[in-house]
Structure 1
Amino acid sequence: MPIRSDTRKKPTCNRFKTKMKLALLGLVAVSSGAFAQPSLSLNDAVSLTLAQHPQLKKYAYQREAAKGMMQQAGVSTPVNINLDVEDVIGTGSYSGLSAMQTTLSISWLLEDEILKSRVKVAGEQAQASDLARQGEALDLAAETAAIFITLLAQKEQLKLAKLAEAQAKKVLENITVRMKAGKSNLVDQLRAKAALSQKALVVEDLNHEVKASRAQLAAQWQGDADIQISGSLQDIPSIEALNATDEKLKNHPRLKTFAARQRLAQAEIALAKVTEEPAWKINTGFKRNEQLNDFAFTVGISIPFGSENRNQGKILALQAQQNEQQAQADAWYQGISTRILLLTHKLKHNRHVIQGLGSETIPTLELANVKAGQAYRTGSYSYTDWYAVQQELLAAQTKLITAYANIHLNKIELERLTGASISH
């Protein structure tokens, strides 16, 4: 849900000046129903997402599957016990089986090196799956945090809209009184009525946006849409906290995933090499002649025929995959580093916006709004000019909320890109 950036908000009169400052400078979103149920912080929302989001459930099954594959990879070829009964033509009292020969044979493969390679492949596959889960969890945590911050900003905009609506009502009342006294005209009253109706529509629109964002946030952990949240947009990151991004980036799950895929390809290459030559098979056993009631020990070696380089094509393909993963890792690192640099500049810019609006622009416009209202009531200033001042103040106040929200959204994206934990 995008942050609203339009300026169709409400003028602010002197009577609501103190409340407006509380709304903009306090910037604390606490629902009126907070006493009915506990409110959620950003950390609470992220924790619920990581614990209950449907997309992360599949990794629990993948983890169990990986354990099974590792266990299976370490199991050697099972011992085969074959009981062969051969019917020998002859006469006797054995119902046509007067002469029988039974062979008990045991066979196995010389595969110790193959087993180790298979276990190595299974282990690398399990690690790759775990890193994939870390990467997806990081994305979902950032998504949840972004929705949370958007909801906080929408609630602040709603406060501002309601204050502007109340101020518009007060202005209309004043104009109506002045018109009855012959100090104002019908045009001003009609314009004030139209302005009030617009303010009411903005309040209604923001109410719907807040409701939709609540539902979107709760959907992250399949929870109740009637949730309450609490938080402050004023808690912005320090510049010092941004200097460690390069070190964090090197430990990002995505970057580790590329390395894990390279190791997996290397393990599969090793397995392909040890299985390149067909395995010899040894057979031993005992043979019994039923007619003579005699036993004999037997032994044999099966030497399969086949090319010794039958896996060369597979090995070449796996080596190409290794190189591809390295190229992707280099491209990913370069791209993310550039995006981090841009986000850092955006964070600094939003800090300057907050400082400029809070220390100069808004205080100046608040004073101008007060003076314009006084001048209008004395008949020395037009309603059109007063209304323009009110809209300029409203636009600046809205921009301040947006700047606070943007600095948090940029921080969340920065944490996602660097692989840092999403927190507030």
Structure 2
Amino acid sequence: MPYIKSQTFKPLNYWLRGGVAALTLNLFLGNPFAYAQQEVTLKDAVLLTLNQHAELQSFVHAQNVNQGLIQQAGVSSPLSLRVEVEDAFGTGSYSGLSAMQATVGVSWLLENDVINSRVGVANEQSAWVSLQKEIKALDVAAETANIFVVLLSQKEQLTLAKLAQLQAKKVLEVISKQVDLGKANIIDQLRAKADLSTKALEVEDLIHEIEASKAQLAAQWQGNMNFTVSGTLQRIPTETQLDLANEQLINHPRIKLYATEQRIAEAEIALAKVTAKPSWQVFTGVKRNEAEDDFALTASISIPLGSENRNQGEIIALQAKGSQKQAESEALSQRISTQILLLTHKLKHNRHVIEGLSTETIPALEQANEKAKQAYQIGRYRYSEWNDIQQDLLDAQAELIQAFTNIQLFNIELERLTGRSIMK
């Protein structure tokens, strides 16, 4: 009786013939994928998500808000027009307008330092929003990649389930012939029928799971389900790539976010220091003397008096805030470094699982399956024992698929934590 050979059960080599999907969370990859396309790779799915995901659209408006705030921060206080009249409408020699002195001029504040500080704060706040968008983009891209990998895994499992169903059907045919010849008990035939029914249900369940995953994936870019996914679970990061993962942590937008928040605090401190002392006010104008029929230029400066320490409490609070962000940044780096270490160990473990299953476990079970089939056909082995071996073989194949799936999921999380692609 035919059975499933090792080359058949290397689904990661043979089942998916589409293009290799690079498991990378690059956020700037050219033009978005067109909806008319029927075959979706991981790159296509991530691009669609980054261009269409509802939560990312709000950042477009947030960036417009910040551009407006930057522009507004650079606006100076308006000029003041001042008109003064003296020696008019009095009595005696000051009656009427004959002795009137009129001054017309403008005044303005010397506030360049204040404006520059306000613009500095607004620019840092704009950079903070950009980093928030980058962090969100990493998260939604990772979520899309996870769904995509699960969908690929389900396709692999479906192929395995169909092959198992075919195997069960052929086993039933062999047992039915043995029963007809009086060489096997009808109980074996009934158990084989039940096993075939179970395998058919597993195929049906996986078909429904795939449809649900497709719907979840399409929801990432608010699209429809008129597509098929193309890719492979076979790409695995090397030991060297995993060892270098921690070095890329410094580029993670979450780490940069804390640095930006510290710069915001520094910019706000500079603004508080500048505004601690009110701006000087300058006045210049023209004075008209009616009695002497003469004009003259006039100028003045107003210097506010007051303590330069009036914003000292705010400055102390902002300095403490900067120190707090520094401490939080160091804590985050330590926490992510620990997560990266755990993920790299899990990735390496699954590499060893794949190697062990592919080179030892599955080949040994395939040989055992062949021997059990031959022994059953000559009446020297029970169906239940043969069925156990077949189930062990299927379990090992399923475990192989899961190990490859785990590697891709762990790698996606590793890329999300480092903010960089591990596999280049």
Aligned to 1:26: 14
Residue by residue, what CA displacement relative to the aligned partner does 1:140-184 show, whole Å, maximum 9, x if unpaired?
A: 222222221111111000000011111112222322332233222
What is the one-letter code of the residue matched to 1:173?
E
CA distance in 1, matches of 2:227, 2:422: 20
| Alignment correspondent of 2:240 | 240
Q: Residues 396 and 22 from structure 1, CA distance in 2 versus in 1: closer, same or farther, beyond 3 angstroms?
A: closer
SS at match of 1:14: coil
CA distance in 1, matches of 2:221, 2:85: 64
Distance in 2 of aligned mates of 1:303 and 1:75: 22
Partners of 1:162 and 1:293 lie apart in 2 by: 109
Question: Which is further off, 43-52 or 13-22?
Answer: 13-22
Per the normalisation by structure 1, the TM-score is 0.85
CA distance in 1, matches of 2:7, 2:101: 103
SS in structure 1 at match of 2:124? helix
Q: Counterpart of 2:214 in structure 1: which amino acid?
A: R
Aligned 8 A contact 1:105 1:286 in 2? yes
Q: Which residue of 2 aligns with 1:365?
A: 365
Residue identity opposite 1:167 in structure 2: Q
| Aligned residue in 2 for 1:201 | 201
Alignment match, 2:328 = 328
Deviation readout 1:289-319 (Å, 9 max, x if unpaired): 9999987766555555654322122111111
Contact 2:340 2:414 in 1 (8 A): yes
Assess, with a 3 A threshold, how the Cα gap between structure 1 residues 177 and 24 changes in structure 2: closer, same or farther. Answer: farther
What displacement does 1:63 show?
A: 2.5
Q: How does 1:80-91 map to 2 (within 5 A)?
A: 80-81=80-81
Partner of 2:76 in structure 1? 76
Alpha-carbon displacement from aligned partner over 1:376-415 (angstroms, at most 9, x marks no partner): 2221111111111111111100000011111111221111
Deviates more, 1:300-309 or 1:289-298: 289-298
Pair 1:310 & 2:310 matched: yes
Once the two structures are superposed, the pairs formed by residues 156-195 of structure 1 within 5 Å of their partners are 156-195=156-195
C-alpha separation in 2, matches of 1:414 and 1:18 = 31
For 2:187 and 2:339, the matched residues in 1 are separated by: 52
Aligned letter for 1:341?
L
- SS of the residue corresponding to residue 39 of structure 2 reads coil
- Alignment of structure 1 residues 19-418 onto 2, 5 Å: 20-28=8-16, 38-81=38-81, 104-286=104-286, 299=299, 301-302=301-302, 304=304, 307-418=307-418
Give the drift of 1:328.
0.7
Q: Once structures 1 and 2 are overlaid, which stretch shifts more, 256-265 or 246-255?
A: 246-255
Decide whether the 8 Å contact of 2:246 with 2:340 is kept in 1.
no
1:138 and 1:421 in contact (8 A); partners too: no
Mean CA deviation greater in 405-414 or 393-402 = 405-414
Rounded to whole Å, the distance in 1 between the matches of 2:84 and 2:202 is 88
CA distance in 1: counterparts of 2:110 and 2:55, whole angstroms? 43
- 2: CA distance between counterparts of 1:365 and 1:251? 47
Q: Structure 2 stretches of 5 or more lacking a match?
A: 20-35, 92-96
Cα 1:101–1:221 change in 2 (3 A) is farther
Q: Which secondary structure does the structure 2 equivalent of 1:256 belong to? A: helix
Q: Deviations over 1:253-285 (max 9, x none)?
A: 111111111011001000000101233333444
Native 8 Å contact 1:29 1:152 kept in 2: no
Higher mean alpha-carbon deviation, 154-163 vs 283-292, is at: 283-292
Structure 1, unmatched stretches of 5+, are: 1-12, 92-96
- Secondary structure of the residue aligned to 1:326 is helix
Q: Aligned equivalents of 2:262 and 2:12: distance in 1?
A: 51
Greater mean alpha carbon deviation, residues 75-84 or residues 173-182 = 75-84
Deviations 1:102-130 (A, max 9, x none): 76442211111111111211111121222
Mean alpha-carbon deviation: is it higher for 342-351 or for 274-283? Answer: 274-283
Contact 1:262 1:326 in 2 (8 A): yes
* Counterpart residue identity of residue 130, structure 1: S
- State how many pairs are aligned: 403
Letter in 1 for 2:261: R
Contact kept? 2:241, 2:422, Cα under 8 Å: no
Identity %: 56
Q: How far apart, in 2, do the equivalents of 1:102 and 1:190 lie?
A: 116
- Note if contact 1:416-1:422 (Cα within 8 Å) is conserved in structure 2: no
